[in-house]
Amino acid sequence: MRRTLTMAVVAAALLVPGGPLPMAATGSVAGAAPAATVAAGRWTAREARSFWSAERMASAVPLPSVHPAPPEPVDPVPPAEPEPVDPVDPVPPAEPEPVDPVPPAEPTLPDPAPGATPIPAATPAPPPVVTEPLPAPSASPAAAPTPTPTPAPAMKPGPTRTAPAPVPLPAPAPPVVPRLPALTAGIGQNFDGIPVAGRMFLVKGGGAYFCTASVVSSPGRNLVLTAAHCLLGSDTQQVAFVPKYTKAKPQPYGMFPVVRDAAGRSRIWIDPRYRSRGVDRAAALDVAFAQVGPDARGFPVESVVGGNRLVTGAGYAHARITLIGHPSSAARPRVCANRTTKFTSSDAQIPGSFLRINCTGYPGGTSGGPFLNRYDARTGTGDVVGVIGGWKTGGDRTDTSYSSYFGADIRKLYEKAVAGAKAAR
């Protein structure tokens, strides 16, 4: 969102464990633990879990905003008038007493430390020579009778032994969907989250960051949805999705790494016009899909937590939208329900029409959070008709959020992601 960071938070981005994370090479981070150094074409769930420790995830911050939110107006405070002070007669400084100069001590050099004697490399001992013992000579060798060979009994063919077939892992249990708190229209509340939504962690420009993302149903059961401005840039690396993240339980459903191609590029689909025109001119296309690999047990993300249904062409006005997001440094995600309205930008630099929703307490970090229509409390899923982003990358006020409209362009982008994910398998 546009409200992602002030300068103070930008500075906090450098305070990740071990300092900043300078990129050493494509697909790796300098200074990370040895297990976190990943080959260009590799980025598995085990490697992602090794890199994104609980401490590193907790230290991640929202992406810095291109246009931070304007500061709230503050009433000026008049300066206090100084109190009068009675004049005091000046006291002349005391003259310093003469001091006899002390000759400098002659420098003494420390005794040289005895040099370390190098330990010569051990010379390997020669291998022992093994000789066969010679038979003792016989005084009068007698000719021994030639034995008659006995034919070996014929071997009966036995059954051929084959390796046992691997036992398939049991299917993951259905996710536990917590009940949402009682919601007042437009008032956001922190809660424990839902399995289908979570944080998207990434390394960009040497810092550890996050946005919000959610699973979208697909034939490959391996796509997540977020805002395009969260994943924009060729330096976006070490990307991983963590469903239902909270600080108390960082990985309740595991971690799903965003798949890389052979060149080490993350498999992310963003409309090319968003890349070429920028976040303002192409604000109506602020949507991204990413292909995630299986978890450490080998299960796809949708099989573990479920998925929302992508709905396009549903219009701008919805009577009740459930909005999910992970705000800045909050330990838990946030939920709110309210109606949406159509907002048409009057700024020629940010053209287009967008969904708008009034929900309190959605600052940076909530970018990419889903707009869920017809939320089903039993399955914890709904029809996703938008994500926080679009106008000013989601808005410049924490209590009003926006989304690009999900029309034909977003449907084509989804179909492209489905085809690309299928070809990569």
Give residue 63's pLDDT band: very low, low, confident or very high (50, 70, 90). confident
Give residue 64's pLDDT band: very low, low, confident or very high (50, 70, 90). confident
Phi, psi of 339 (to 5 degrees): -85, 160
What is the reported pLDDT for 92? 47
Average pLDDT rounded to a whole number, residues 25-49: 56
Tokens of 205: 């420009």
Give residue 142's pLDDT band: very low, low, confident or very high (50, 70, 90). very low
Q: Is the pLDDT of residue 79 over 60?
A: no
User: Which of 36-40, 380-384, 392-396 has the least mean pLDDT?
Assistant: 36-40
Q: Is the pLDDT of residue 81 over 50?
A: no
DSSP 3-state assignment of 392? helix
What is the reported pLDDT for 74? 40
What is the reported pLDDT for 416? 98
Give pLDDT tens digits for 301-355: 999 999 999 999 999 999 999 999 999 989 999 999 999 999 999 999 999 999 9
Cross-strand pairs, 311: none
- 237-243 and 223-226 strand pairing: unpaired
- 246 vs 156, which has greater pLDDT? 246
Length of the chain: 425
- 138 vs 281, which has greater pLDDT? 281
User: Which of 74-78, 90-94, 277-281, 396-400 has the least mean pLDDT?
Assistant: 74-78
Percentage of residues in the chain having pLDDT higher than 90: 60
Average pLDDT rounded to a whole number, residues 83-87: 43
Give pLDDT tens digits for 172-189: 888 999 999 999 999 999
Q: Is the pLDDT of residue 69 over 60?
A: no
Task: Answer yes or no: are the C-beta atoms of 314 and 383 closer than 8 Å.
Answer: yes
What is the reported pLDDT for 78? 44
Give pLDDT tens digits for 196-243: 999 999 999 889 999 999 999 999 999 999 999 999 988 899 999 999
Among 164, 170, 233, 245, smallest CA distance to 204 is for 233
User: How many CB atoms are closer than 10 A to CB 182?
Assistant: 6
Task: Answer yes or no: are the C-beta atoms of 229 and 393 closer than 8 Å.
Answer: yes
- 391 vs 163, which has greater pLDDT? 391
Task: Answer yes or no: are the C-beta atoms of 256 and 324 closer than 8 Å.
Answer: no
Give residue 149's pLDDT band: very low, low, confident or very high (50, 70, 90). low
What is the reported pLDDT for 162? 63
- 24 vs 78, which has greater pLDDT? 78
Give residue 101's pLDDT band: very low, low, confident or very high (50, 70, 90). very low
Task: Answer yes or no: are the C-beta atoms of 56 and 203 closer than 8 Å.
Answer: no
How far apart are the C-alpha atoms of 367 and 28, rounded to whole Å? 25
What is the reported pLDDT for 171? 81
DSSP string, 269-328: EE-HHHHHHHHHHTGGG--EEEEB---TTS--HHHHH--BEE--S--S-EEEEEEEE--T
